[in-house]
Amino acid sequence: MVGFKATDVPPTATVKFLGAGTAACIADLITFPLDTAKVRLQIQGESQGPVRATAGAQYRGVLGTILTMVRTEGPRSLYNGLVAGLQRQMSFASVRIGLYDSVKQFYTKGSEHASIGSRLLAGSTTGALAVAVAQPTDVVKVRFQAQARVGGGRRYQSTIEAYKTIAREEGFGGLWKGTSPNVARNAIVNCAELVTYDLIKDALLTANLMTGSCPPFSAWVPGTW
C-alpha cells in the first residue's frame, strides 16, 4: 500500500486553527497603524463619552492621520491596542478561517461534494461564531485605538484593566457591544471570501488548470499547495 507523501497529508483541524490565527496575527502586526488611523478618522468629531477624538487634532486622510499621531502622541500611539488586536486575530481568524473546512464537512455529513448551500452555511456559521467569541477583544482594541495619549487623560492603561473597567462600569454585556451588526457583517464577508475561493478552486481543479487538493485554509498559509 502506498502511503501519503508529506506534502499530500492534509493539515489537521488543529493545524488549520492555529495556523489561521498565527497568520492573521502577523498580518495585524504589519497593518495595525492603518487600522488605528481608520478608527481615528471614524471617531473624529466625537466630543462626549469615554471615546473621544484628540482635542485640537484634525485628521486628514490616512497618511495625514498617521503623521499627526506620530507628531502629537509619538510613534507608539500607532500601536495602541495591539495586544487586544492580536488576541482578536488569534480568536477571530482561528474560528473564521481555521474551522471552515470542519464546519463544511459537518453540514455535508462528510461528503466530498459540497453544495453551494452547504458552503454558504459553513461560511456564515464560522463568520458569526468568530464574532461571538472575539467581540470583547474587538471592543477593547477599538477603545484603545480611539483614546489619545496627549493631555494625560487616558482611560485605559492596560489591556486587562480595560476588560475589567468595561465590565465593571458598563456591565458584562458592555464587552459585547455592537455584536449584532458585527455578526451580520462578518457572516456576509466570510461567505464572500471563503466560499468564492472554494468555488474558484474547485473550478480550477475541474478544468485541470491545477492539480492536488487543497482546503480553503491553504490560501492563507504559504507553502500548503
Residue 184 belongs to domain spanning: 114-208
State the pTM of this model.
0.78
Long-range contacts of the stretch 54-59 (C-beta < 8 A, 24+): 54/148, 54/150, 55/148, 55/150, 55/151, 57/148, 57/150
Classify residue 70: in a domain, yes or no: no
Q: Summarize pLDDT for 71-114 with one digit per residue, the tens.
A: 988 999 999 999 999 999 999 999 999 999 899 989 988 777 88
Give the chain's mean pLDDT.
Answer: 83
* DSSP state string for 22-64: HHHHHHHHHHHHHHHHHHHHHHTT--SSSS-PPTT----HHHH
**In the chain, how many domains are there?**
1
* Confidence band, pLDDT 50/70/90 cuts, at residue 44: confident
Q: Summarize pLDDT for 110-156 with one digit per residue, the tens.
A: 777 888 899 999 999 999 999 999 999 999 999 999 887 655 567 88
> What is residue 223's predicted lDDT score, i.e. its pLDDT?
39
Residue 223 CA: distances (Å) to CA of 11, 46, 80: 12, 45, 32
Classify residue 91: in a domain, yes or no: no
> What is residue 57's predicted lDDT score, i.e. its pLDDT?
58
* Confidence band, pLDDT 50/70/90 cuts, at residue 12: confident
- To the nearest 10°, report the CA torsion of 209, 215, 221, 223: -50
Whether 215 has a pLDDT exceeding 60, the answer reads no
Classify residue 74: in a domain, yes or no: no
